[in-house]
Structure 1
């Protein structure tokens, strides 16, 4: 009698999609493109990857390949409509796969520290090099005054600071709450105005904007607008993060004071 040990017991695509919908992170506070476009795309890709037997790290690697091939085209190829469409498709695919790796990890029962490290390492590189690729395009393929090169430089700096700050403040908050045995604060959904304020800073919007690469003046204008919005938003959110970290310090100081012996409080 033949053995049935090779029978595929994994759920089908539809079952995987259903399980993924029930294992989503909270959508509160996220930028609109990431929540309403990128995450659903990532869900489909995660279900396909699950059926194909891929691991989250393999999906992260595919995300990196798609992204950095797109970055290479953006820097090296002529600034044409064809290049813009190709770059846009590759960056959008890379971003969707970046969402898929985490969703696949949750579908498989949880990710690993190595996977989280790999994901954040790729992301930290991506948010900088895409704008350095735009800088190369400005210099090699567009007839621009040298001062325009400051725009992608500023965009790269703001994106790096925003990404690092977002990760670090979240980590400090979780570490402090774990140290003091405090529950995580309830997240409230942002208002429509806040969501619209975040929209120009969404990496996915930048990905879509690259489709305009062949229309040099239009791409320059849209890219500069996104850069200015990202710099402005980053300045605002850094000030908020500083207040949040000061509040964490107050909590830790208060806990240490309450835990100290009576003689040491005087």
Structure 2
């Protein structure tokens, strides 16, 4: 067995549970990330270096969206850059676990990069729609709305996890639901919110009208899922109380 294969096997054993995670992230991105993490491990890279490499790929793709007029090849380039960036985003955490655990600073850096890309990706789409297309002006509201939904979803999810831990309920419900089969259903229901699916959508970015329709459908689906999730989280937060001694 090669050193790379051995590292991949060790990463597989240290993989965190995937129950309830969206399908692309669960079955494709983590596997891609595992390959990148193994390569980074053999090259002596740190998780923070992998995070910054992920940011470089992602933000290069974002810049291409905003600065270059849509062409067939641009969609392929942007899609590839975003997919690689997302795979590397999965790799930093896996590398940290392989090396014995990450740091608070590393987790902070990872979240900052994620929050920034959530804002800038949709901003870049807005700029592209405005600069390079003949789409009706009302369509500019779609990336603005998508940006708002994405940012609210990201912040609220992080906040819910923090409040759960503060109430002594550190294990995500998804783990328990997975044992009853609900985890798989949650995986597919979460598909529209999967950042990896959005990355793949950019492969047709050069086909402006087709991308605009697909992007709009993704926005509508994300808005619907967020609405349901907010109601569910609100009900859950009403059942929580601060942990003893907190």
TM-score bracket, shorter-length normalisation: over 0.9
Q: Match for 2:12 among 10, 14, 21?
A: 21
SS in structure 2 at match of 1:247: coil
Deviation of 1:197 after TM superposition, in Å, equals 2.3
Alignment partner, residue 157 of structure 2: 166
Q: How big is the alpha-carbon RMSD for the aligned residues of Structure 1 and Structure 2? A: 1.8
Residue deviations 1:13-67 (CA, integer Å, cap 9, x gap): 1211111001111111100000011000000000000001000000000000000
- Greater gyration radius: 1
Deviation of 1:196 after TM superposition, in Å, equals 2.7
Deviation of 1:187 after TM superposition, in Å, equals 2.4
Q: Match for 1:54 among 29, 33, 45?
A: 45
Q: Match for 1:42 among 11, 20, 33?
A: 33
Deviation of 1:192 after TM superposition, in Å, equals 5.1
State TM-score, norm by structure 1. 0.86
Q: Match for 1:198 among 184, 190, 208?
A: 190
In structure 2, the CA distance between the partners of 1:106 and 1:147, relative to structure 1 (3 Å rule), is same
SS in structure 1 at match of 2:15: coil
Alignment partner, residue 201 of structure 2: 209
Runs of at least 5 residues in structure 1 that lack an aligned partner in the other structure:
1-10, 257-266
Superposed counterparts of 1:62-141, under 5 Å: 62-141=53-132
SS in structure 2 at match of 1:121: helix
2:100 aligned with 1:144: no
Larger RCO (alpha carbons 8 Å, 6+ apart): 2
Deviation of 1:241 after TM superposition, in Å, equals 1.1
Give distance in 2, aligned partners of 1:184 and 1:141: 43
In structure 2, the CA distance between the partners of 1:183 and 1:65, relative to structure 1 (3 Å rule), is closer
Q: Match for 1:244 among 231, 236, 242?
A: 236
Alignment partner, residue 220 of structure 2: 228
In structure 2, the CA distance between the partners of 1:247 and 1:231, relative to structure 1 (3 Å rule), is same
Say if 2:204 and 2:211, in contact at 8 Å, map to a contact too.
Answer: yes
Deviation of 1:78 after TM superposition, in Å, equals 1.0
Runs of at least 5 residues in structure 2 that lack an aligned partner in the other structure:
none
Say if 2:21 and 2:186, in contact at 8 Å, map to a contact too.
Answer: no
In structure 2, the CA distance between the partners of 1:15 and 1:193, relative to structure 1 (3 Å rule), is closer
* Alignment: residue pair count: 240
Residue deviations 1:180-225 (CA, integer Å, cap 9, x gap): xx87765222365533321111111110001111111110110000
SS in structure 2 at match of 1:19: helix
